[in-house]
Structure 1
Amino acid sequence: MVTATRTSPVIASEDEAITVATALSTRFAENAADRDRGRVLPHDQIRELALSGLLALSVPAAHGGIDASTVTLTEVFRLLAEGDPSIAQIPHSHYTFLEALRLQGSQTQQEFFYSEVLAGKLFANAQSERGSATIDFDATTLTPDGDGYVLEGRKYYSTGALFAEWIAVRAALPGAEDATTGKQTKVVAFVPRDAVGVSVVDDWEGMGQRTTASGTVVLESVAVPAAHVVPFTPIFAGPTTYGARAQILHAAIDAGIANGALRAAVEAAGESRPYFEAGVERAVEDPLLVQLAGETALTVRSATALLEVAARSIDTARTHLTEATAAAASIDAAVAKVASARASLAGSNALFELGGTRSASESANHSRYWRDARTHTLHDPERWKIQHVGRWTLSGTVPPRHGLL
């Protein structure tokens, strides 16, 4: 394989990563409301993200990266989401499928694809499908053909595919089902965005996360070399942090929305008129608003703190991987995800209470916080995470291994 020419800088430390993410968050926030209102896709912003070096944070040191901790990666996502939640969601699959590469890729595959990442290439996903009985079934197939494979299928919720150089496609191997369970054997096929037979359709119509371009990817007789296929099913054969790592980044996006909404709420409260019964000159002196602000800040800050707790738990498990550490990491990530989801909805709701009637104006577009939160929190059911947390709490029941926990 030929490695890519580097076009983006390599971030040298985790402190530098936070500094870069903070600066990008501020810039991405500047026109986020306008992009959401007009559904203006953030091509320029994603290019800036790629050129920043942040896409390479998880590259191992042996391959030229810094192998940033989950703690740092989670904070980077939270910061980006505070600026623009749609932009933060776009690299989620990038990091998730690079984790699959780390866990199951060969040395040669890692050398090639990590060099692509270091060059600033973005990886997107083509994972979920519509119309199947359950979300864990893939109608998309990867069939042997000569020295390689042929990929056929149709994917939806393909976040970031319009912006990416590579699309990570989850597919089933026909005839390789488990004899006992009947479950599919799955792989990840890394496909160039411009490969023959690949079509990316901009048909995402979500009420929130409007500029993620999470639409359709159509795969028609796409030729895939064997060197671009990485096993997926074996990830879950033993203890793993794959699902917990993916979930903590989702939680970081929700926490970012919560923090962004709270910040907007404070600004809106400072501009609103006091309610006449409060008998105060400024709305921010109204004791009922003060109470609401305090309760909301408590919810948001608690969720943000739980992010770090879970991220540290995941880092511990990655360093000392056992059934017990992996299970604890999954439970801690589930707790953080539920808390962050609730905080994002609480913060975006409180914005209107604190900002008053004018905060509901279309020109302010404050509704985007709630729309982003409500859309993104549907990603993985909160109710099932609470079930697993409850069983763990009462009886120490180890949670199942899959990519959503």
Structure 2
Amino acid sequence: MTPATRSTRSTRVTPFGPDATDIQVLSVVRELASRCAAEDARRDAERILPYDEIRDLGEAGLFTLTVPKAHGGPEVSTRTLGEVFTELTAGDASIGQIPQNHYFFVNVLASAGTPDQQAFFYEEILQGRHFGNALSERGSRTARDFEIGFARQPDGSRILHGTKYYATGALFAHWIPVYATDEEGRVHAAWVPADDPGVSVEDDWNGMGQRTTGSGTVRFEHVRVPAERIVPVYTIFEKDEVFGAFGQYLHAAIDTGIAVAALRDGKRLIHELARPRKETGLDRAADEEAVIDLFGGLALRVRTARALLREAGEAVDAARADLNSRTAAEASAAVAAARAHSDEVALKVSSGIFELIGTRAADRALRLDRHWRNARTHTLHDPRRLKLRYLGGWELNDTPPPANGLV
């Protein structure tokens, strides 16, 4: 990606202001999601990266939603942001995932940035710029064993050198925040301009699902990061926090959106393609009692996922309003429940719709399999078994989920 190409993605936006309502925000999101859905299947099949669509999100102000009102942003609630991600993902699962890392790092700034850092980057966001990510590495023992070079310089800056993988959204971003550890093993986030001469982003993501997220490889060649662009992430976990719960909440919203899309397309294709069993004497498969019952079961799963997501969002908002060890633990447990259920629902609904449509559902021209591929790929981010363990520990033994940013 050349600097010239990157520069065309920085456009002045008319963001939602401090007086924006949830109704206004969700109305804009639903209109954009509908537009994204029109070409979703083709983008997936041909792996067409959504540069235009991400630009449209930026111009509509959809990267500004958690900028505080005091800085000129709408500062929507966590619950509302979950609705935003669900709707956007229902339009296109890859496009729905791309802003997740942006909002993750806005939360890093809100949780550990200095007032000057917050003011600078909030203004960047309001001016139409957004964040990608460079978190993951290969070959390390855990998700927090960062091997990338992060050498301190006499002036307080650091030299960043190394490679990150699965960098969702980095291809489309203006800033690429990087996780790295200092000499004492403490985690920091360093903000690097995407057009820095030492940065290269490779479009080498080859996943079976979420095919157009731009989750490629980012290489840093001795990039100097000034001290004012480095945020001490480790300080977040020195106090009560809902940082990890917030990040996992957005993943739950993405899984829920995939399930919503699968159920929507399943309904349409049952009406368009499915044939009733001859012995029923019916003209439409949609009138067959067994089909109605099974579809109702899938719909129940989706409705439950949405309800759990709303409950989890409200728990995170409540904890932020009155943060202590118990409210933080309850928020994490509520998110764990939403995440465990949305994981299961995305997989079951995206698979279950096939049997209700019949053999013709397997026609590759329909591209119906993309929902299951998206669900299976995205749900691999974190093991569902751990969510159940955290939820059970809290509900049974009052053991708080771990404060590690991964809950």
- TM-score for the superposition, normalised by structure 2: 0.95
Deviations 1:214-260 (A, max 9, x none): 01111110011111000111111111111111111100001000011
- Residues 6 and 118, structure 1, Cα contact 8 Å, conserved in 2: no
SS in structure 1 at match of 2:158? strand
SS in structure 2 at match of 1:157? strand
Q: Detail structure 1 runs of 4+ shifted over 3 Å in the superposition.
A: none
Mark the runs of 5 or more structure 2 residues left unpaired by the alignment.
1-9
Residue equivalent to 2:389: 387
CA distance in 2, matches of 1:214, 1:67: 28
Matched AA of 2:207: G
- Residues 205 and 214, structure 2, Cα contact 8 Å, conserved in 1: yes
CA distance in 2, matches of 1:121, 1:291: 47
- Alignment equivalent of 1:344, drawn from 335, 343, 346: 346
Shift of 1:144: 1.1
Residue equivalent to 1:181: none
- Residues 268 and 351, structure 1, Cα contact 8 Å, conserved in 2: no
- Residues 11 and 59, structure 2, Cα contact 8 Å, conserved in 1: no
CA distance in 2, matches of 1:57, 1:238: 25
- Residues 204 and 213, structure 1, Cα contact 8 Å, conserved in 2: yes
Residue equivalent to 2:404: 402
Tell me, yes or no, if structure 1 residue 73 matches structure 2 residue 81. Answer: yes
CA distance in 1, matches of 2:277, 2:207: 36
Residue equivalent to 2:90: 82
Residue equivalent to 2:3: none
CA distance in 2, matches of 1:324, 1:393: 12
Deviations 1:23-77 (A, max 9, x none): 1110000000000000000000000001011100100111111211001111000
CA distance in 2, matches of 1:111, 1:257: 35
Matched AA of 1:235: I
SS in structure 2 at match of 1:374? helix
- Residues 266 and 354, structure 1, Cα contact 8 Å, conserved in 2: no
Residue equivalent to 1:179: none
Residue equivalent to 2:111: 103
Larger deviation: 34-43 or 125-134? Answer: 125-134
Q: Percent identity?
A: 47
Matched AA of 1:275: R
CA distance in 1, matches of 2:296, 2:67: 40
1:163-202 matches, cutoff 5 A: 163-173=172-182, 175-176=183-184, 184-202=185-203
Shift of 1:141: 2.9
- Alignment equivalent of 1:9, drawn from 6, 14, 24: 14
SS in structure 2 at match of 1:401? coil
Residue equivalent to 2:330: 328
Count of residues in Structure 1 that have an aligned counterpart in Structure 2? 393
- TM-score for the superposition, normalised by structure 1: 0.95
Residue equivalent to 1:180: none
- Alignment equivalent of 1:53, drawn from 57, 61, 77: 61
Deviations 1:150-200 (A, max 9, x none): 001211110000000000100011x21xxxxxxx20100000001121111
1:141-180 matches, cutoff 5 A: 141-147=149-155, 148-173=157-182, 175-176=183-184
Residue equivalent to 1:250: 251
Residue equivalent to 2:45: 37
SS in structure 1 at match of 2:133? strand
Residue equivalent to 1:279: 281
Shift of 1:349: 0.9
- Residues 11 and 129, structure 2, Cα contact 8 Å, conserved in 1: no
Shift of 1:6: 7.7
CA distance in 1, matches of 2:161, 2:330: 38
Mark the runs of 5 or more structure 1 residues left unpaired by the alignment.
177-183
Matched AA of 1:194: D
Residue equivalent to 1:265: 266
Larger deviation: 262-271 or 8-17? Answer: 8-17
Matched AA of 2:209: G
SS in structure 2 at match of 1:239? coil
CA distance in 1, matches of 2:339, 2:138: 24
CA distance in 1, matches of 2:316, 2:346: 22
RMSD of equivalent CA atoms: 1.1
Matched AA of 1:367: D
SS in structure 2 at match of 1:270? helix
Deviations 1:126-166 (A, max 9, x none): 00111111122111132112321100121111000000000
Larger deviation: 285-294 or 322-331? Answer: 285-294
CA distance in 2, matches of 1:199, 1:345: 35
SS in structure 1 at match of 2:140? coil
Matched AA of 1:140: I
Residue equivalent to 2:5: none
